[in-house]
Structure 1
């Protein structure tokens, strides 16, 4: 068996705005069932995949990890790809998210976002309206090996990201939490199963050349894996409740560039211009030269 130690939406518009940064993560029962028959972006081979900035917005992820977790290890790469794909799918749908993501999460109903993304909800066809700009901070909190797979949890801090629900025409900063309450991150977890037995763990080989990291992978990070369960941000057991506390502490210690303070009377303000993202970290092997 390959060791995976491969050592890896109508309520109201206001409610949707609040959801734009996080509520799809927190309300799986609100997952969409609409579909798009005329997507504006086509699927491409994994090697030709590029991050769809024109449909999703100009944002990146900056990752860190708990002690003992190597962000470059295969399992950690799966965690990073899951989190980034899940966020991207809210704008473009599962099929047009990272290579392999749609198939990998097909068994988890609330993760199935239709082509066209998650806004406007209830539209006959997705209109590609949801965008973000800035940098998501994320941290892998735990990876636990299992007999045939692994379970993982990560924390997402969306404080320094502005959102748009009009296709990027305007962006807005959101107050990072309830007024007067400390900032909190969102803890998300999932379980991945290795579909094949007796396959040695081997590094992914590509023809990519060294250089600055790219925003999205050019290979199927989920190859040979299936996500069998996902949860969050409500903890599903005692151990994950402890992780929620760690996620909250980490988020509160992160620097805040969002100008809307937690005590602000404004729930959101215009972001004009929207924030520029920092380079992705660690990002994905790039195509250069």
Structure 2
């Protein structure tokens, strides 16, 4: 646990040239009443490779999708995801990941999920991304004890996102994409679509790269899933987090 706390400084994004920027203007559509599911008490902390800007429009879509995806799974419902997620994935995503959980009891989850944007490259109609998901510090509480969800290895996942056919003009009001909130209350997908999500990257070298991008050493992580702990891993503040759109 001390290693996780000491290494949190490494989870701050390495932002370089804005090579992945698309015009980011949008109209804010605030969804009243949205909040993270009550059983989900862990936060997401993002980092990125040098030269990838976590605040560019493609990166924001990747962030919103990945966070929404895991919230929908852990909340056992599509409605547990961020505003706009259902529309962004309406034709491309297999909803069985969420729907088959409906009859199972919700787990109370705590801790921190580390996400690292390993690659972000333009395609003919959008962007392709490789994301490292480290949820070895996400824990389920059962009868006063805490059990980690996975062993030490992060997952390497790939996404393909499609930009809107007409990007909004740069003179439009920009959408803020960081803050102290755990989740956005506005649709930050802004017309972007998710064309493909592979939970296991085809490029096996991505797994070794992802392993080296986690904020703590491999031997300090849980070595297998479902280990009991008397205290949970710390729930760190979200980064970059999201703003309060209704106050902007």
Q: Same fold (TM over 0.5)?
A: yes
Q: 1:246 to 1:102 in 2, by over 3 A?
A: same
Among 143, 146, 153, the residue aligned to 2:123:
146
CA RMSD, Structure 1 to Structure 2 (Å): 3.4
1:223 Cα deviation from its structure 2 partner: 1.5
Alignment of 1:1-289 (within 5 A): 5-6=21-22, 46=31, 48-52=33-37, 54-55=38-39, 57-92=40-75, 93-114=77-98, 119=101, 125-127=102-104, 129-164=106-141, 172-174=146-148, 176-177=150-151, 183-197=152-166, 199-201=168-170, 204-205=174-175, 213-233=180-200, 235-236=201-202, 240-251=203-214, 254=216, 261-262=222-223, 268-286=226-244
Any stretches of 5+ residues in structure 2 without a counterpart?
1-18
1:61 Cα deviation from its structure 2 partner: 0.7
- State the aligned residue count: 223
1:187 Cα deviation from its structure 2 partner: 0.8
1:70 Cα deviation from its structure 2 partner: 1.3
Q: Distance in 1 between matches of 2:95 and 2:181?
A: 25
Any stretches of 5+ residues in structure 1 without a counterpart?
9-43, 120-124, 178-182
Q: Distance in 1 between matches of 2:91 and 2:45?
A: 28
1:248 Cα deviation from its structure 2 partner: 1.9
Q: Distance in 1 between matches of 2:173 and 2:162?
A: 18
Q: 1:277 to 1:255 in 2, by over 3 A?
A: farther
Q: 1:219 to 1:171 in 2, by over 3 A?
A: farther
1:47 Cα deviation from its structure 2 partner: 5.1
